Amino acid sequence: MHERIYGQVSWFELASIVSVVLRLPIVLLWHAVRTTFTSRPKAHKSWRRFIGDNAFRTLADAWNMKQFQFVFGTSLHIYQVWARSHGLPVLVDDVGTHGGRLLWIGPRNTKRMILYFHGGGYVIPLQDFSATFWNYVRLKLGKEGTTAGFAIVSYSIIPTARFPMQLVQAAEALQHVIASGCNPQNIHIVGDSAGGNLALALLSHMLHPVENVPPIALTSRIGGVFLMSPWVSLTGDTGSHFANDSLDIVGVKTLAYCGRKVLEDVPDSLHVYLETSKVPDTWFKGVDKLVRRILITAGGVECLRDDIIQVSDKLSKNHNEVRLIVQKNGVHNDPFYDFLAGETNLGDLTPKILAWLRQGLNEEND
C-alpha cells in the first residue's frame, strides 16, 4: 500500500534513514582510507567534493524512493525553501490541466528562456543544489549582458503518476511558454539525468506523436537542447556500467532500481521514448527541423557514459549541430556537485556549458 503513496515510509524504513545518517561519518572515513591506499583513478577533487560525492553515493545506495521523498519532500516545497534562502521571489505558474508547474529562478522573463527539466530518476524531487547551479548560470550570463528567464518544470513523481504523464506535463509546459510570447527560437530546453530523458522523450514525441499527449506546434526551431548526463538507458548493460560502477556517484544498483520503478506498468510501445539508446539510427530523422543545436555532456567515469555516446551518435547522424563533451574523470551530473559541496573552484565543464548557452541565446534568429 505504501508504494502508492508519495513519501510514506514504514517504521523500519524510518529507522533505516536514521541509521544511515548516523553511520555516514564512519562510511566517509572508510572511503578516505580506501582512496588513499588504492590505485583508483584520481580526479584531483577537493576534500569538499570528496565528502559531498561519497555522501551522495552512500545515500543513493542505501535509500529507496519513499525514503528520499520522505526526507526531501516535494519539488514545490524544496523550491520554496531554496528561493527564500537565496532572497529570491517564490514565483509559481500552474501550466496545463495535469498538475505541472513552472518554478521561476529569479524574475519572470519570456523574451528568452531556459526551461529546465530536473533529474532524479522520476522518483526523486528537485534537488536544491541543481537550482543553485542554474541560478549561478543565470547570474553569470546576466553579468555578461545575456539576460534570460529560468524556469524549472515541476512534473509528477512516481508513484503519484506514471509515464507518459511526465511527458504530458513537459509538453504543456513548453506550450505554456510559447503561448506566453516566447518564440521557440529563444527557448533553450535543458535537462539532467531523468530530465535529459524527458527532454529526449519530448523531441521523440514531436517526431513520433504519442496518443493523448498534446502536440507541439512550432513557428520556428527551438533554440537549443542541452542534455547533462541524460538517462538514456533504464536497463543499461553497456561496458561503462560495469567499469565505472565503483567510480560514479550513482551506481548500477541505483540506476537499475529507478529503471524498474519507471518501467512498471508502462506499455511496451512507450519504452522506446524512455530508452533512446536502443532506438534505430533513423528514430531522430527530422530533429534538425525541430531544434537548432544540441549539447550533450557525460562524465568520463559515469556508468551511463557509453549509452550517452551511443545516443549522441544517433542524433549526430540526423543533425549537423550536435556537440558531445565527455568530461575527464567526471561523474554523473558532475557540475552540480560542486554546488552541493560548496566548491569555489568549479570544474572545467561549467564554463563550457555557459559558453554554449551564451552563444545560443545571442545567436541571430532563423
C-alpha cell at 92: 509559481
Virtual torsion, Cα 54, 56, 62, 65, nearest 10 deg:
-170
pLDDT > 80? residue 36: no
Say if pTM beats, i.e. exceeds, 0.85. Answer: yes
Q: Which helix (H) or strand (E) holds 242?
A: helix 239-243
pLDDT over 70 (residue 308): yes
Residue 226, helix vs strand vs coil: strand
Looking only at the bridges linking them, the beta strands covering 187-192 and 224-228 are parallel
CA distance 144 to 363: 15
What confidence score (pLDDT) does residue 37 get? 47
201: pLDDT strictly greater than 80: yes
Question: How far apart, in whole angstroms, are the C-alpha atoms of residue 340 and residue 92?
Answer: 24
Contact 108, 180 (CB under 8 A): no
73: burial class by Cβ within 10 Å (0-12, 13-18, 19+)? middle
- Decide if 224 contacts 293 (C-beta within 8 A): yes
**Chain mean pLDDT for the chain:** 93
- Give the cell for residue 121: 530518476
Residue 226: the pLDDT is: 98
Q: What is the pLDDT of residue 236?
A: 80
Contact, 319 vs 289, CB < 8 A? no
Tell me: pLDDT of 175 over 50. Answer: yes
pLDDT of 158 over the 80 cut? yes
Beta bridge partners of 113: 149, 187
Q: How far apart are alpha carbons 125 and 135 in whole angstroms?
A: 18
